[in-house]
Amino acid sequence: MLQLENLTTDIDSDGGLVRAVDAVSLTIERGETFALVGESGCGKSMTAMSILRLLPDAGRISAGSVHVDDIDVTQLPEARMRDVRGHRISIIFQEPSTSLNPIMTVGRQITEVIERHTALRGDAAHAKALDWLKRVGIPDPERRIHDYPFQMSGGQKQRVMIAIALAADPEIVIADEPTTALDVTIQAQILDLLKELQASQKMALLLITHDLAVVSQMAHRVALMYAGQVIEVAEAREFFSKPLHPYAANLFDALPDTSKRGRKLASIPGTVPLLNQQFGGCRFADRCGNVMERCRISPPQLHMPRPNHAVRCVLYDGLGLNGADASVQSVTSANSVLAQDSAPGATLLEVRDYRVWFPIRKGLLKRTVGHVKAVDGVSFTIAAGRTLALVGESGSGKTTVGKAVMQLLRNTAQISGSALLNGQALDQLQGEPLRQARRAAQIVFQDPFASLNPRMRVNEILEEGVSSLCPEIAPAQRSERVAKLLERVGLRRDVLTRYPHEFSGGQRQRLAIARALAVEPKLIVADEPTSALDVSVQAQILNLLKELQQELGVAYLFITHNFGVVEYLAHDIAVMKNGHLVEVGTADDILSRPQQDYTKTLLAAVPRLQHAIQ
């Protein structure tokens, strides 16, 4: 159905020629789910953009071919490519907030695709768009079809993006992190929908994701990418049960779960190497626990040590299909014991009977005719040095709680109740006292691209908060602080002069986390802070958050749908549904002895690795 042969993509940059995709060859059959996994910046999304010919202006396909059936789409004129793109091949983009048109209703954006690529028009196209909104789980679709993207939560926007991609019944769907912004129940629903469509339409699916549990449930075959190259390809069961490449083994070590609580997660040191250079040896050598002298002498070739299982590593030189397995070692001190969590300290944040109601205005004079009760009577406390995980489905009010506590919704909503930070009522602060309170409380937003100023360089973004909230710090010290912080979140110092658009989604999320940490707050409201991160960087960030909590007593209000992270990081859990907290308790109680049916449903929907990792 889709065949990539030595696909090579180059991008001209100020730092020289970047080879983002280097001689990638893959074959995806009709009805097959093929997963492309690897760290942020490895070239997964650029491979997808190359297939669709949606490269940036400075990018070009310099070699290779992309065949859809018997058509090489790299040779098509743009006018013909528009007929292929969206009809035969469609894509679910990674960041729905930047992919949806902000001045068109979501219904119009779906019908636009239907009318462009099918024979349906008018009411028929509208009816099909409405049906797709229902199928992807948008509540009250008859009303929401007329909404604009900004009126929807992050998860709901992702579902709209999926509806747009599937609306013209394509033969091939490229799903770039399709479930990143979705809660576990909707994620399960979307994955079931994709499986159903594959069964009924024999649709091929190229799944780009860092969620290995989703890959284990969905994929027939898996390709692991690193620094623009494919370094391992195998059947999914084989890949998860017996990974061959040291990089794959290290990724599995980094997965968080309950068994690793109180221990340090394995995280691969360093970062993906820059791709504007000629490589003389293995690209993973500097981060590998199995590195040998010959790894640095010449690039490794793809070997086939097992049937249908290829790996690019010198450990398998000379091994036949029945050769002995190489011994893969972890490069990290995985699972080293962390200091024991201290007993709960004094209450840092106390939220009492909090309500956040958004007015519904109609008519010429925009009179208030009702309210959307996004948060309706929520109460909880967080002690210094503790983590409260706030979980629940998309649209349940989790993000609204975080923004309201940080006093970011004063001008758009009616807020009642109280939020006390160190006994100080945040809702009563104005001007300078409120600004100073923000030194003690910071927020990491769900969408890093929308929350980073596109006109500012990284050093300006990170130093802005420090210079505003910590004026006593000298400029030289300020610059050194943010440079060290970049390294702690897994980025090089040389990115300080770059702009947000020059980073991948996962790298932008790391910048957002670094910005929140720069002023050394006592409380961090983290809204899906690891949703866009691959497992290795996620382990790095979780280790960093744990270390800061133990060293500085930082408290976290952790808003997430990733239950693996909750199991590893949270001390307490609050389960939210339709603006109310339905269950609150310690992590052990909620995870092992849930009382509410809703909580049991959430836990049952959590994807788990389906193949034993050895």
pLDDT above 90 for 556 = yes
pLDDT above 90 for 95 = no
Residue 327 lies in a domain: no
What confidence category does residue 610 fall into, taking pLDDT thresholds of 50, 70 and 90?
low
Task: Tell me the two tokens of residue 282.
Answer: 């293995």
Supply the CATH number for residue 94's domain. 3.40.50.300
Give pLDDT, residue 553. Answer: 87
Q: In angstroms, rounded to a whole number, what is the distance separating the alpha carbons of residues 234 and 536?
A: 20
**Same domain (yes/no): 192, 307:** no
Which amino acid belongs to residue 205? L
Neighbours of 281 (CB within 10 A): 17
Residue 255: name the closest of 237, 245, 274, 240 by CA.
240
pLDDT for 429-454, tens place per residue?
Answer: 988 888 888 889 999 988 787 889 99
CB 393 within 8 A of CB 186: yes
Q: How many domains does the chain have?
A: 3
Residue 546 lies in a domain: yes
For the chain, the maximum distance between any two Cα atoms, rounded to a whole number of angstroms, is 79
**Same domain (yes/no): 513, 459:** yes
**Same domain (yes/no): 270, 134:** no
Residue 330 lies in a domain: no
161 half-sphere exposure, CB direction, 13 A CA radius? 30
pLDDT above 90 for 351 = yes
Q: In angstroms, rounded to a whole number, what is the distance separating the alpha carbons of residues 56 and 164?
A: 22
Question: What phi and psi, each to the nearest 5 degrees, are found at residue 493?
Answer: -65, -25
Percentage of the chain with pLDDT > 70? Answer: 94
C-alpha torsion angle, residues 396, 399, 401, 404 (rounded to 10): -140
**Same domain (yes/no): 41, 117:** yes
Task: Tell me the two tokens of residue 330.
Answer: 């972890």
CB 224 within 8 A of CB 216: no
How many Å is the Cα radius of gyration of the chain? 24
Residue 233 lies in a domain: no
Residue 306 lies in a domain: yes
pLDDT for 214-230, tens place per residue?
Answer: 899 899 999 999 999 99
Domain that holds residue 155: 2-219
pTM for this predicted structure: 0.77
**Same domain (yes/no): 478, 394:** yes
Q: In angstroms, rounded to a whole number, what is the distance separating the alpha carbons of residues 213 and 179?
A: 12
Which amino acid belongs to residue 30? R
**Same domain (yes/no): 397, 481:** yes
Give pLDDT, residue 319. Answer: 52
Residue 539 lies in a domain: yes
Q: In angstroms, rounded to a whole number, what is the distance separating the alpha carbons of residues 183 and 295?
A: 42
Report the relative pairing of strands 580-586 and 414-421 from DSSP bridges.
Answer: unpaired
Mean pLDDT of the 376-395 span: 91
What confidence category does residue 328 fall into, taking pLDDT thresholds of 50, 70 and 90?
low
**Same domain (yes/no): 183, 272:** no
Mean pLDDT of the 590-608 span: 89
Residue 87 lies in a domain: yes
What angle, rounded to 10 degrees, do the helices at 505-517 and 535-552 form? 10
